[in-house]
Amino acid sequence: MMDRNTIKNTGILEQYLLGELSEKESTDVENILKEDDELREYFSKMEDDMEQIALENAISPPTHLKTAIFNNIEKDTTHSDEKVIPLEKTKRKSYNFAIAASLATLFLLSSGWLYNQWKETEQTIVNLQQETDNLRTKLVNIEGDLKETNDWYRAINKPDVVQLVLKGNEKSPNSAAVAYVNHQNKEVILNPQGLSKLKNNNTYQMWADVEGEMIDMGVISSDVEMIKMKYIENAESLNITIEPAGGNDHPTVEQLISNVIL
Amino acid sequence: MKDDLELIKRLQNQDTKALSKVYDLYSGALYGVILRMCKNEPLAQELLQETFMKIWQKATTYNSDKGKFFTWSYRIARNITLNSLRKKENLIQNEDLSVYKDRSSSEEKIDTKGIVGSLQKLEPHHQKALELVYFNGLTHREAHEEMDVPLGTFKSYIKQALKKLRESYKEELVIVWIIIEMMR
């Protein structure tokens, strides 16, 4: 065994540091260093100095070298992995992978299917909504129509109501209108649908004859089913004439197409 | 200059990121050593690669109680380079002369890469002695013959060189300390 001073003086530590010693000599030095704190401190400083020299004199290797080294190590690692890992494990790994892959596929397919279902349902809901809207509109219209019809029906279907048919004369032989007169309620309702079509600038107008004088009962719109006319007291007859559009103050007697005595 | 034991632990656990860090820290220093020893850039690159492969594979055999990580890496680099040079020398002896000529010409070119840093401040014979063992990979025995001095003298050169180095580092520290003090 060597003592501390011998070691310091012989320069064996320097040789140990550089890696010049044989294995046995190295082990000897290591054992001594283990026991001797002071010597270890001395050696550690020497190491620091040597490292410093090397760092000061460093030469940067080309950058591609690092990549090459890491590629090699990667290869090395995967290679040794192949060697070490038993076949079973790789098999299980691939089973696991296969299971994971099939689960993923399954999930993907079901997701796609669900998405389709969802989209279809959404479309159906939109359609239903539209249909509901249409039906609601129709229903409102029908209700309106029904109410109107009911009103007309109630207005004419009374014992006090007198029904009069105004047939067209030779000027308008195909015309016919129905008037419903209620003396009790003082109402006149006319169904003008049977009247022949007129040119745009003409219209039918209704008159009441009171003691030889023709009194206006109103212009007859051609596009309605029923129309309420003015009730005139003490009327002796009802008359329909053709007048310029918008109606006239006095009847054009030559254009009288129908009259009925009350 | 304390070793990062955490980093070395990670390296020993085969963490490639740790190796990358170690490479960044030491590849230049080790390449400097290898290149000065073999004086041939393509070969030095090959040997550096080999060195790091070995550092990676043998990391678990490193024991921080026995010395610094760099010392351990340095020894690996040095051994790998010396082995390769020995093989090459055999080759040169057996093969034709042209190979030898190529080698000597590249040798001169690389030689211009001088030693820098604190080593430069040493007296020439101290500098030469350290350079021979440290950067040229000669053993003490070979180096004292190279310098043509007795082995004992050569050993004391190394010892004195290291002592001077230590003093110059201390001086640098003092200068740094003074600069820091002045900046306050």
- Does pLDDT of B98 surpass 50? no
- Treating both helix axes as pointing N-terminal to C-terminal, what angle do B69-94 and A37-56 enclose, rounded to 10 degrees? 60
Residue tagged 């990062």 (tokens): B4
Q: How confident is the model at residue B44, as a pLDDT?
A: 92
Residue tagged 């040794």 (tokens): A80
> A54 with B30: CB under 8 angstroms?
yes
Q: How confident is the model at residue B110, as a pLDDT?
A: 44
Single-letter amino acid, residue B137: G
Residue pLDDT, tens place only, B135-150: 888 888 888 888 888 8
Instruction: Look at chain A and count its residues.
Output: 262
Q: How far apart are the first and last CA of chain A?
A: 156
Residue pLDDT, tens place only, B16-74: 899 999 999 999 999 999 998 888 889 999 999 999 999 999 999 999 888 899 999 99
CA distance A155 to A157: 6
- Report residue B8 CA to chain centroid gap: 20
Residues from chain A that touch B57, judged by Cβ atoms under 8 A, are 76
| Cα torsion B51, B52, B57, B60: sign | positive
Q: How confident is the model at residue A223, as a pLDDT?
A: 79
Residue pLDDT, tens place only, A43-101: 998 898 888 888 888 888 998 989 888 888 887 766 555 444 455 555 566 788 888 88
Assigned CATH for A161-261: 2.60.40
Instruction: Go through A89-106 and write b for each residue having 16 or more CB atoms within 10 A of its CB, e for each that does not.
Output: eeeeeeeeeeeeeeeeee
Q: How confident is the model at residue A134, as a pLDDT?
A: 94
Find the angle CA(A125)-CA(A126)-CA(A127) to the nearest 5 degrees: 90
Residue A118 phi, psi (nearest 5): -60, -45
List chain B domain ranges: 1-111, 114-184
Mutation for A interface: B1, B142, B154, most A CBs within 10 A: B1
CA distance B79 to B73: 10
List chain A domain ranges: 4-59, 83-157, 161-261
- Does pLDDT of A137 surpass 90? yes
- Treating both helix axes as pointing N-terminal to C-terminal, what angle do B69-94 and B41-58 enclose, rounded to 10 degrees? 130
Nearest to B71 among A47, A60, A66 (CB): A47
Give percent above pLDDT 70 in chain B: 82
Chain B: closest CA distance from residue A80 (Å): 11
Single-letter amino acid, residue B72: W
Q: How confident is the model at residue A1, as a pLDDT?
A: 55
Split at pLDDT 50, 70, 90, the class of B184 is low
Spatial CA neighbour of A258 closest among A161, A163, A173: A173
CA distance A76 to B37: 27
Region A218-231 average pLDDT = 88
- B135 in reach of chain A (CB within 8 A): yes
Which residue in chain A is spatially nearest to B55 when comparing CA positions?
A73
ipTM: 0.72
- A41 in reach of chain B (CB within 8 A): no
Dmax (CA) of chain B:
66
Candidates 3.30.70.260, 1.10.10.10, 3.90.550.10, 3.40.50.720; CATH matching B114-184: 1.10.10.10
Cα dihedral A205/A206/A209/A214 (nearest 10) = -30
Is domain B1-111 in CATH 1.10.1660.10, yes or no? no
Contact B140 A34 (CB under 8 A): no
Residues from chain B that touch A65, judged by Cβ atoms under 8 A, are 27, 45, 48-49
Split at pLDDT 50, 70, 90, the class of B108 is very low
Chain A: closest CA distance from residue B20 (Å): 8
Contact B133 A66 (CB under 8 A): no
